[in-house]
Chain A
Amino acid sequence: MWALSVVGMLAALFPAFLLIAPNRLLTGEAIRPQAWPLALAWLAIAVCTGLPARAARPVVTTLAWLAVCGLPLLAGLDARIALSEASAFSVRAQLGAGFWLMWLAAALLLLDRLRGLRVPTRTALWVAVLAVLVGCAWVGVFDALGLVREWRAQRAPFALATVEHLRLAAVTLVLALLVGAPLGWWVWRRRRSDGLLVGVLAFLQTVPSLALFALLIGPFAWLAHLWPALGSLGFGGTGAAPAVFALVLYALLPVVRYTVAGLDAVPSDAREAARGLGMSRAQLLWRVQLPLGWPVLLAGLRIVAVQTVGLAAVAALIGAGGLGRFVFLGIGQGAIDMVLLGTLAIIALALAIDFLFQGVLALTERAP
């Protein structure tokens, strides 16, 4: 953890904290208004982490928490000052590498410090971070940042893209579960966990997502051509249909694997007793295997959900919409803040879904 403080210190002194650019497309000029105070703060953290006394531990935790909340605040205020001195409205303040490195270092430090604490405390501290940041955003602390300006310019498309993204992920998850869980059950029944099906699914995982999306355009266009009725439903070479198809293919392997693992988690004597007492296969599944294997399957779905939210970004390339559109649009225009806007939103979605699943898992595991 000492190393993280050094990273923070170097990030305070050398890379740009903010970049002030004449407009949203150009690269800006680096500024680091509080380089020395920040470096000293990191030095303080480094010294505290080095102290053997237990009393120093909460100090480090507090400093890390303050850094995670305070760095965005500081960036917002610095941007506001920089812009008030600027001549033209087109001037943009972009977050620089110095900011990102320090923020990451602070977040990792906090994550590490919180590991020893109880779950409710941990959750409360992260929720507090979120509350501070959302509160600051609400009162306009971040309004001067280029990122926020991008968002202000595209509020409606951004909201739409978020909904699209969530819909892509949700449809994928449901389909993957509907197809993958029975497949997993079949694989488990046949004791062929390393058989052909899993081999094919594992191979699919190795196909680069970009390539798979591109490869699907042909067959899907052809299908839509064969049955125009499908086309009128929005089914075609590009769009959501091939995107969901590809995402489901990627999700299948983990769903199958975790279904098998979930079924394996059911004690064999309970299964034997259930059969011997006269449960049908369906009753065995619903009354014994599902309740006992569910936590494992749910843990798998959590991974699949996070993976799908990430992969769905690429789906924008074949016109499926979603937050990936901002990433690719930004890359196309060279507008780095737009790329960031899309990326940050995707990360936030993934984290939120992860958090949600953790909550459901914790509730499930409370039962004996």
Chain B
Amino acid sequence: MIEFEHVCKRFGDRMVIDDLSLRIDDGELFVLVGPSGSGKSTLLRMVNRLVPVDAGSVRVGGEDVRSLDVETLRRGIGYAIQSVGLFPHRTVAENIATVPRLLRWPEARIRERVDELIDLLRLDDPGIGTRYPSTLSGGQQQRVGVARALAARPRIVLMDEPFGALDPLTRESLQASLKAIQRDTGTTILFVTHDLDEAFGLADRVGLMLGGRLVQVGTPLDLLRHPVDERVSDFVGGTRARLRELAVRRVRDSMRAGEHADGEPLDADATLQDALGAMLAQGRERLPVHEQGRAVGAIVLGDLVARGA
């Protein structure tokens, strides 16, 4: 659990964080989204004390971060950044083992954990552990960066635009990996991005930041359907918000159970965006929905278009 309580931060004359309060629950994937300079990275870096707060308090697991030893605090929190920051003089395995080494885990346990993470993040080139970061692709480097952040099984992971510099395909594959890992481990993740699609695709809850304030907090659908004011609706895309919704909603929730349709079946976990794409590709207005290879219903174009469905 991460709690911000009336947190303020100014750099010179500029108020970067303005009396902000927020509570992130255990096991939640919370995404802070907002334009550059809105203060989202600053807020994230307050959690591991890379940025000290001017006023208010930040609590992790109920304890004020200022009351903890700074190195102990940081070793207990995973940290991944956009520029990755792998150590160029250390191999992939040594990079991943950074925090376990700092925590003086026994060597055998470190080796085991590194192998596990190499599998988990699908770093499956043979012998990748002994290679140096400069020999990896950008996507692989960030996978190593994420593995390093997760290495010591932290309860909380902070991720500061970790996929910002990657190409769309690599980014999507990493997002999927992250989402799966988070679901399996129940890690609390605070994720910062300026990319709305990334935010809505990943988040359990989204916090929209503008000018150092948290303007709206809610599920992706909340923000898309019920923006609190014009700034939020502008930011989430005006009429395009309806298109974004399709990427957030699942076929399972909009299908007509038990009905039959012809065509290539869709998975119940697919998004409505996938469904619309499949309809366009197949030239059909109805498609069958399968779950674990069994037909469970149908998805209909009219239902996607209908308001508030």
Contacts and interface: CB of A to CB of B under 8 A. Distances in A.
Q: Which of A269, A277, A283 has the most CB of B within 10 A?
A: A277
A267 B88 contact: yes
A279 B73 CA distance: 11
B88 A270 contact: yes
A288 B87 CA distance: 7
B71 A279 contact: yes
Interface residues of A, number: 20
A272 B89 contact: no
B134 A272 contact: no
A52 interface: no
A188 B236 CA distance: 44
Interface string A224-245: 0000000000000000000000
Contacts of B74: 275-278
A303 interface: no
A340 interface: no
A291 B87 CA distance: 10
A367 B148 CA distance: 22
Interface in B158-173: 158
B72 interface: yes
Interface string A276-290: 111110010001100
B161 to A, nearest CB: 12
Interface in A258-309: 267, 269-280, 283, 287-288, 291-292
Contact of B102 (A267, A283, A288, A291): A283
A208 interface: no
A3 to B, nearest CB: 44
Contact of A270 (B70, B85, B132, B149): B85
B113 to A, nearest CB: 15
A269 B71 CA distance: 18
B96 to A, nearest CB: 11
Contacts of A278: 70-76, 99, 102
Contacts of A267: 85, 88
Nearest to B132: A368
A291 B81 contact: no
A96 B81 CA distance: 67
B102 A269 contact: no
Interface string B63-94: 00000001111111001010111111100000
Interface in A326-367: 367
A273 B79 CA distance: 7
A279 B88 contact: no
B79 A276 contact: yes
Contact of A368 (B48, B81, B89, B98): B89
Q: How large is the interface on B (under 10, 10 to 19, 20 to 34, 35 or more residues)?
A: 20 to 34
Contacts of A269: 81, 83-85
Contact of A272 (B70, B85, B158): B85
Nearest to A292: B89
Contacts of A271: 85
A82 to B, nearest CB: 60
B72 A368 contact: no
A272 B88 contact: no
Contacts of B83: 269, 272
Given A269-B81, A272-B81, A368-B134, A277 B98 contact: yes
A288 B94 CA distance: 12
A287 B94 CA distance: 11
B50 interface: yes
A291 B88 CA distance: 10
A325 B102 CA distance: 54
B148 A277 contact: yes
A368 B148 contact: no
Q: Which of A287, A291, A367 has the most CB of B within 10 A?
A: A287
A368 B99 contact: no
A277 B89 contact: no
Q: Which of A273, A274, A278, A288 has the most CB of B within 10 A?
A: A278
B235 to A, nearest CB: 28
A366 to B, nearest CB: 12
Interface of B: 48, 50, 70-76, 79, 81, 83-89, 98-99, 102, 132, 134, 145, 148-149, 158
27 contacts: A269-B81, A269-B83, A270-B85, A270-B87, A272-B85, A273-B84, A273-B85, A273-B145, A274-B87, A275-B74, A276-B74, A276-B79, A277-B74, A277-B79, A277-B98, A277-B99, A277-B149, A278-B70, A278-B74, A278-B102, A279-B71, A283-B102, A287-B87, A292-B87, A292-B88, A292-B89, A367-B89
4 closest A-B pairs (Cβ-Cβ)?
Answer: A273-B85, A278-B74, A278-B75, A269-B85
Given A276-B50, A277-B79, 20 more contacts: A267-B88, A270-B85, A270-B86, A270-B87, A270-B88, A272-B81, A272-B83, A272-B85, A273-B79, A277-B102, A277-B149, A278-B71, A278-B76, A278-B102, A279-B102, A280-B71, A291-B89, A292-B87, A292-B88, A368-B134
Interface of A: 267, 269-280, 283, 287-288, 291-292, 367-368
